[in-house]
A and B are shown apart, each in its own frame.
Chain A
Amino acid sequence: MASIEEGGDSGHKKGPGVKKAKKLSTRVDMTPMVDLGFLLITFFVFTATMSTPTTLDLNMPKDVKDVKEQTEVKESSVLSLMLGKNDIIYYYEGKLLEDGSNFKTTTFKGVRDLIINKKKEVISRYVRDPECEAKAKSEGKPISNCADKDFVVIIKPSPEATYKNTVDILDEMTINQVRTYAMVKIFDQEFELIKVTEGATPANK
């Protein structure tokens, strides 16, 4: 495609016998090259920014056998979330009652409000703790960190939950700034309750 323009030397102005050197232009048609260049740019732009894998840190505690070493939490400020199948979350606040009357269900959309409300409730019950506030001050953290220090979320994925559910719920902890949360193996009693609840609701949900 590159065409080389020939200089106009058709005229014989200098008369016969005088040979004139042929003048060639050095201009090359660059359009196809530029086309190709832009094609490659587009290609690399797309491939370069497509998927940027990131990582989510996960710290697991050591398995503690001794009951004395286990962390104790206030019953009133605990929210237990159980991940069931089909992206359903089962939850209860505090302790699970014998009759299972505080065992409720929600979805991944509803869980955020649930966490926010529970967190507000815990903060509203906060009695000023000068020791914790002094410590937060010395470490340069806001005092408000103390207000929700009691708030604990316990995550219990059931064997039917997917990995995505697990990551989503961990993400929800970050989004709502839950400082204390734990991932625990689900109790048999709770798994039974999930199964009972699943049986009660239409299966095609």
Chain B
Amino acid sequence: MPTTTALLIDFGSTYTKLRAIDLDRRAVLASGQGPSTVATDINVGMRLALEDLGRWMGSLPRFKYRLGSSSAAGGLRIVTVGLVRELTAEAARRAALGAGAKLVGTFAYRLTAADLERIGALAPDLVLLAGGTDGGNSEVILHNARALGASALGCPIVYGGNRAAWDEAKVLLAGKAVICTENVMPEFNVLNIEPARAAIRDLFIRRIVHAKGIDRASGECDAVLMPTPAAVMEGARLLADGCASVPGLGELVVIDPGGATTDVHSIASGAATTAGAVERGLPEPRVKRTVEGDLGMRHNAATIAEVAGVDNVADDARLPAQTVERLIGELARDVGRLPSTPEEHALDRSLARAALRLAMKRHCGTVETVYSALGPINVQTGKDLSGIQVVIGTGGVIAHSAAPLDLLETVLANPAEPESLRPRAPRFLIDRQYLLYACGLLGQAEPQAALELALKYLGDPLAEVTHERAVGG
């Protein structure tokens, strides 16, 4: 009997990546890769990737599923608009990030003529318009709806603001493609981002995939389901929560240092573990994604060094500061460069360590002791991830590293920074085969197969080291 197979495709910004999966044996049959050619004809790169896959597999089977995700053509570029920066504007930001967006602009309060000009120049794929709790402020969102309605903006708009203002807003936005979804903050300090996320994803499938020319690959791909960051997040969610018949790993964090950004996903409540801690600020979503735009191994290597301190990076790499500065300058000129010399390897390691440390620190919350007239009080902001049991490293830098633990250990809590609620003693798993996105996609069709595949392939690096030792000696 022929085996049932699935093809999972990532239409990336540089490469078109394929994973062929044997669904019966829960095994990766082969991987294939081609260039990303979405700017001309996406099918060119897709065919080259399929040829590459065919070379490994002998011949290509008839796939039961051919599912894709995409970060090509600039990713899913979203502009968010809210009212108060820390409230509905922040809720809208989180909804967009959770939908796998590349956030290109975030706006709060009344949009000015200059803001509208900037939004036009950003040319987003979608605008998420929020503002006001239900029955709360409607004046600002109506001002913004009027401004967007009168602008030349051609992209779809998702309305996730004050429900009481929708009827009026709809009229003001006439002529635009508008979808109304539930308010991202229906009550004060109540976060409700799932409906907006679903609406964004729906628009992505129905319109944006077409607008970007990704649907031209429909001969080789049944559906492009979501942006790639959303697929990674779905994979993480499946691994954490499990499915009806197979339990998951429980609360976890995924960290993904990339060429332009470092993404962190947490699937965890983030509830306080400090005794008596008072939680402040917007409630945290259980499924949370943060994107650090200044921490990218290639496009933003210079800013990693700037944020971490060139001297610290140099110390960590055991290189003179001048050498670090020279090498970073070379990276900025040639972002496709892979490390070859011992110096370049040392720098890459230290850049990755700095990016991982900073990205995890920003994703996790803090607890600080405030001394009041009544004695000390512990105030927590953001998620407490100190008790997290599993941290998964994904992305090329970690997958290709000979010593991934040496990179990942930097995400751990540091006694010198007791206020930062980073994981204290998690187990590290490495996504060596770059399977998380594939599992996220496959999980949409066959969750159990996707979950079992992920559990099988996410190697425990400690186990691996033991195994190597056993073989070697």
A and B bind: no
Binding site for B on A (CB under 8 A): none
Binding site for A on B (CB under 8 A): none
